[in-house]
Amino acid sequence: MRLIPLLLLLVLFACTPDQAPPASWSYYGGDPGLSHYSEATQIDTANVDQLVPLWTYHTGDADTANFSQIQCNPIVVDGSLYGVTPQMRLFAAEAATGMEKWVFDPQDVALDENGSRFKHNMINARGLAHWKGDGGTRLFFTAGSLTYAIDAADGAIITSFGNGGHIDLHKGLGRNVDDDFIVSTSPGIVYQDVLVMGTRVNESLPAAPGHIRAYDVRTGEQKWIFRTIPGPTDEGFDTWDNKSAWEYTGGANAWSGFSMDKGRGLIFCGTGSASYDFYGGNRPGENLYANCVLALDALTGERRWHYQTVHHDLWDKDHPTPPVLVTVNHAGKDIAAVAQPTKNGYLFVLDRETGKPVFPVTETPVPQAGAMPGEQLHPTQPIPDKPAPFARQVVGPGDINPYLSEADREVVAEVFRTHRYGNPYLPPGKQPFILLPGFDGGAEWGGPAFDPKENMLYVNSSNMAWLIDMREVEWTPRGDENWAAAGQRLYVKHCQTCHGEDRIGTGNNPTLINIGERYETSSFAELIRSGRRMMPAFGHLKEEEVAALASFVLEQETEGKQPFTLKPLSPGEDPYFIPWKMNGYKKFLAPDGKPAISPPWGTLTAIDLNTGEHRWQIPLGEYPDYKAKGLPATGTENYGGPVITAGGVLFIAATSDGKFRAFNKRTGVLLWETDLPAAGFATPAVYEIDGKQLVVIACGGGKLGTRAGDSYVAFGLPE
């Protein structure tokens, strides 16, 4: 049974004639502007503490061994709730009761006349889009690199769309990327009869370009493309000093999705960094349109304006969420704007028509010393004068976690003695440094919430520091190599950034020690070619290269094998050669596993967009063992975002402590909290149906060491 009704008989209140129309949640993020705002008022600050679970939907496919996750913000259309499961299945349930209506499993779809099936990369899907027309509603859902058109009524694939019901995001980019990693984790957005799509691509090289494309919602025909890495005939090409970079550089992709101004016919997005993330000696220049807020004509793809928030990014400072459509009142005049939160904890507020900053932004000199040989740093970076950063920017030896033991504090102090610190724009170099905010924050993919009645923006932030340690990739002419030696060389080139020099794993990337106990050469090769979760696919590797990687990673015997025959290209011959690589994604943690720096490690901030001032900021999340000792709330890393209601309530899960919380949006005071069956690393959805207001959160866990889950839980007021 997938349905566990907790209140079998609900009293659903009828709407009176003078009530506002029922609140809906038919778009990812609630509405086209991605405001995360609901007009619902039934649940308010006076009664939110009475909330109870009304229904729970179990997907039945949580993968606890591989830490599957649900990061989906579901949509509600015509009485049905549509969401995604941990194993990338699309489901429909009755929005009022959670009763399952149908499930679409892309793994069951035959994709050619021979009945062969496509094995999808098991990556997260954070939502979906819909379109009404031709007498029905179709859903656009992406599993791996394939975007499907699905009939909302019965879950059937619409075979007249694209290639038998799907489009392949590898196609139509202007160069052959069939063997490159390219997927979509965030949904596209529909304007009239056009579906606009972004992608997630490899952050090393080789990588596909992050060009933005639009498709006909009926036929799947590609309508336009905007090249985020401009070619010789495109504006912005002059910001790439290496005039060949556009032929092989990847990234600059809109992986976090889109917002839309229907009245102006504009879509907005924030792009990511250019590949490789941490070394740019082969791509000198400002690198438009990487790290940009973009405004594009929805029907043609024409660029209306752009604003770059990081020049020549070397810190993986992708825009983690699309800009939110907001209104700002200055000197008695309302200004239509967009607000773009960043991983550095800045908020750029830009005029919606022109892209010009509403609050002043200063091009600020940044550190130049200590960069890697061959790097050409940009001398300044744009920093808003207002609002103030919502995430911490600087850390030093005086900021060690005060709750650590003396022995652990000394270990942390030694890191400060051996690492650079003190500026978010320290260049990667031979001496390692402490990056704050780190790779998973300030802002993250959940995005902020905006209250259009009070012009207030609410954003959650992670304040975790990370360590960047660069290692030189030495190249020497190779003589005869055995397969394990060749595999070690390939590991350094393709795997070390995530799994570390010693293969013990870093961050969310698992250890590879003793992986040979779980994988044989054939299953390892399948993993390399298809990817899984955070791991990209390496389809470009030749069969012999995959076998060599297996020899090294699986620690296989290589005696008796003939020498490895594929000789590496020299750096001058190989456009993908990167002379410096980061040695794993490493959080700055104490020996006991707690953050090395002082709290708060996660915050929730209310920002008045009329004045640019912070209204309030509070820690978000707690460590249970610290709480048991009576320590004040420290905040934790958090994923997913908040929602705001006209009833004065802010809802958010997002934290690793497994709590779902409601705050007074005006004061930040906690009004209610409850334990979820698994941590809710997703943004809630709020809607009304049959006179009843519900708040639904996906409880997938699986991050930050939390247990995996498989449920969507709906809360509301009791009878």
d(CA 434, CA 467): 5
Residue 194 has φ and ψ, to the nearest 5°, of -125, 130
Kindly tell me if the per-residue pLDDT of 9 is higher than 70: no
| Whole-number pLDDT of residue 1 | 40
Give 474's contacts (C-beta < 8 A, 6+ positions apart).
Answer: none
Mean pLDDT of 7-13: 35
Mean pLDDT over all residues of the chain? 90
E strands, 180-332, in order: 182-183, 189-191, 194-197, 200-201, 212-216, 222-226, 259-261, 266-270, 292-297, 303-308, 324-330
| Whole-number pLDDT of residue 108 | 85
- Structural contact between residues 72 and 82, judged by C-beta atoms closer than 8 angstroms: no
d(CA 648, CA 659): 20
| Whole-number pLDDT of residue 5 | 45
pLDDT digits (tens, 9 = 90+) for 19-40: 334 579 999 999 999 999 999 9
Q: Map out the domains of the chain with their CATH numbers.
A: 3-386+615-716 (2.140.10.10), 476-569 (1.10.760.10)
> Residue 365 forms beta bridges with which residues?
380
E strands, 155-253, in order: 166-168, 182-183, 189-191, 194-197, 200-201, 212-216, 222-226
| Whole-number pLDDT of residue 532 | 67
Which stretches within 495-562 are classed as H helix? 496-499, 521-530, 543-553
By the 10 Å C-beta count (0-12 exposed, 13-18 middle, 19+ buried), 386 is classed as middle
Q: Which of 447-456, 535-544, 656-665 is least confident?
A: 535-544
Work out the pLDDT band at 523, boundaries 50, 70, 90.
confident
pLDDT digits (tens, 9 = 90+) for 534-569: 677 777 787 888 888 888 888 886 654 667 777 777
Give 114's contacts (C-beta < 8 A, 6+ positions apart).
Answer: none
61 compared with 287, residue with greater pLDDT? 287
pLDDT digits (tens, 9 = 90+) for 385-414: 999 999 999 999 999 999 999 999 999 999
Q: pTM for the complete prediction?
A: 0.91
pLDDT digits (tens, 9 = 90+) for 456-486: 999 999 999 999 999 998 876 666 677 777 8
Name the CA dihedral angle for 183, 184, 188, 193, rounded to a multiple of 10 degrees: 20
pLDDT digits (tens, 9 = 90+) for 222-252: 999 999 999 999 999 999 999 999 999 999 9
Rg of the chain, C-alpha, whole Å = 25
